[in-house]
Amino acid sequence: MDRQQGGGRTITLPGGPRVLSWASVVGKKEGQGPLADFFDLVGEEDSFGEKSWEKAETAMQKKALSLALDKAGLAPGAVDCLLAGDLLNQCIGSAFAAREHGRPFLGLYGACSTMAESLALAALLTGGGFLERAAAVTSSHFCSAERQYRTPLEYGGQRPPTAQWTVTGAGCALVGREGEGPRIIHVTLGRVVDLGVKDANNMGAAMAPAAADTILSHLADTGRKPSDYDLIVTGDLGSLGLELLGELLREAGLDLPNLADCGALIYDRQGQDVHCGGSGCGCSAAVLCGFLLGGLAGGKWRRLLFCGTGALLSPTSTQQGESIPGICHAVALEGGKT
């Protein structure tokens, strides 16, 4: 029964639950970036026809779920449980989307690591035989995040060079115990790592140590080499965080040429004025549920390590002088045909 490898934090899934289908919904800016062709839906307006940014986030989650269901040819009732989260206070983006769905719902909060957390739990609950199918859904919205974490857009605050741009987007991955699609072969659970970074405008630096910690644990637990993965892709460290992660790994004796980051991939850094790149739960969700899963299914990559990174701060913790706890959960995926 023991499926934990090496007494570490990595769980092996011998059955290899499948990602049956996936879909991503993004805002206008994301639809103008380099990954434009990989999103299923680019909103004409970031309001998605709703009266508030929070409701727009709910609308994106609902749309991502229904698109993924359509692709798999499944009815909403075929999903045994929705595993969802977002950045909004009390995770209302997800709760109100789940209200429409009418099936069981487990609310998660892992900040920007939530897509990896929900995918990991969907894999464990289906792989363990507890659910036939589960949907992992997360979202973020630039406008709701700005007003909640910083200031309303109308204030026009300056953004420092280390800042990242919260992605307006949602992703949904449908995971099944059986079926066709990329396999989930391992899950490495993240722990909180906090090296004392206090600058809430430099979250890449705050999260990079957690990403290094999880990647090193994953490789040690599984006995794999970095080259066993065609791509090791972090959630949303952005360009500075990605650089720091490379340094931390080199210090630990690892050189990873196949390292990438969803936050660095989603925007054209020069052309789109996003400073260090994308962030937010929706960043890794939209990049995973399109570019990455599509590439795996299409044979572009054979094996991929998806490492969702999260900064577990709040405006209150920052005001109270706290540093930023980082976390990173990793999910190892293999192409569908193998």
> How many whole angstroms separate alpha carbon 210 and alpha carbon 230?
21
Q: Are 212 and 236 in contact (CB under 8 A)?
A: no
- Nearest approach, Cβ of residue 298 and its own copies (Å): 30
Q: Tell me the number of residues near its own copies by CB under 8 A.
A: 60
Strand partners, 10: 188
- What is the residue-wise DSSP string for 40-61? SEE-SSTTTT-SSHHHHHHHHH
Please list, in sequence order, all residues whose beta carbon lies within 8 angstroms of the beta carbon of residue 41, skipping any fewer than 6 positions away.
23, 24, 25, 26, 63, 67
Contacts of 83 (CB under 8 A, 6+ apart): 106, 108, 118, 121, 122, 125, 134, 135, 136, 137
- Considering beta carbons, is residue 85 or 246 the nearer one to its own copies? 85
The distance of closest approach from Cβ of residue 333 to its own copies in the complex, given in angstroms and rounded to an integer, is 18
Per-residue x/- mask for its own copies, residues 70 to 109, rule CB under 8 A? ----------xx---x-xxxxxx--xx-xx-xxxxxxxxx
192 near its own copies, rule: CB under 8 A: yes
Report how far apart, in Å, the C-alpha atoms of 236 and of each of 241, 277, 278 are: 8, 8, 6
**Cβ within 8 Å of residue 155, ≥6 positions away:** none
Name beta bridge partners: 82: 105, 135
Is residue 195 a contact point for its own copies (CB under 8 A)?
Answer: no
**What would the x/- binding string for its own copies be over residues 110 to 149, using CB under 8 A?**
xx-----x---x--xx-xxxxxx-----------------
Is residue 241 part of the contact set for its own copies (CB under 8 A)? no
Q: How many Cβ atoms sit within 10 Å of the Cβ of residue 34?
A: 14
- Minimum distance of its own copies from residue 265's CB (angstroms): 25
Cβ-based nearer residue to its own copies, 90 or 338 = 90
The least distance separating its own copies from the CB of residue 259, rounded to whole angstroms, comes to 22
As a whole number of angstroms, the distance between CA 186 and CA 60 comes to 29
Which of 45, 247, 268, 322 touches its own copies (CB under 8 A)? Answer: 322
Q: Which long-range contacts (CB under 8 A, 24 or more apart) does 48-57 make?
A: 53/141, 53/143, 53/144, 53/147, 54/88, 54/92, 54/93, 54/141, 54/144, 55/96, 56/141, 56/143, 56/144, 57/86, 57/88, 57/93, 57/139, 57/140, 57/141, 57/144, 57/170
Least distance in angstroms from the C-beta of 87 to its own copies: 8
Q: How far is the CB of 27 from its own copies (least distance, A)?
A: 20
Return the half-sphere exposure (C-beta side, CA atoms, 13 A cut-off) of residue 172.
32
Minimum Å distance from CB 33 to its own copies? 27
- Can you tell me which of 51, 75, 161, 225 binds its own copies, judged by CB under 8 A? 51
Tell whether residue 332 is a contact of its own copies (CB under 8 A).
no
Q: Which is nearer to its own copies, 42 or 216 (CB)?
A: 216
Query: Does the footprint of its own copies cover residue 295 (CB under 8 A)?
Result: no
* Residue 151 contacts its own copies per CB under 8 A: no
The piece of 46-54, 153-161, 239-247, 295-303 that touches its own copies (CB under 8 A) is 46-54
Beta carbons within 8 Å of 177's beta carbon, 6+ residues apart:
15, 17, 18, 126, 127, 129, 131, 132, 133
Comparison of 113 and 239: residue with beta carbon closer to its own copies: 113
29, 63, 177, 269: which one binds its own copies (CB under 8 A): 177
Cβ proximity to its own copies: between 80 and 334 the closer is: 80
Question: In the complex, what is the shortest distance from the CB of residue 18 to its own copies, in angstroms, rounded to a whole number?
Answer: 15
Binding site for its own copies (CB under 8 A): 1-4, 9, 11, 51-52, 54-55, 80-81, 85, 87-92, 95-96, 98-99, 101-111, 117, 121, 124-125, 127-132, 177, 189-192, 194, 312-317, 320, 322, 325, 327
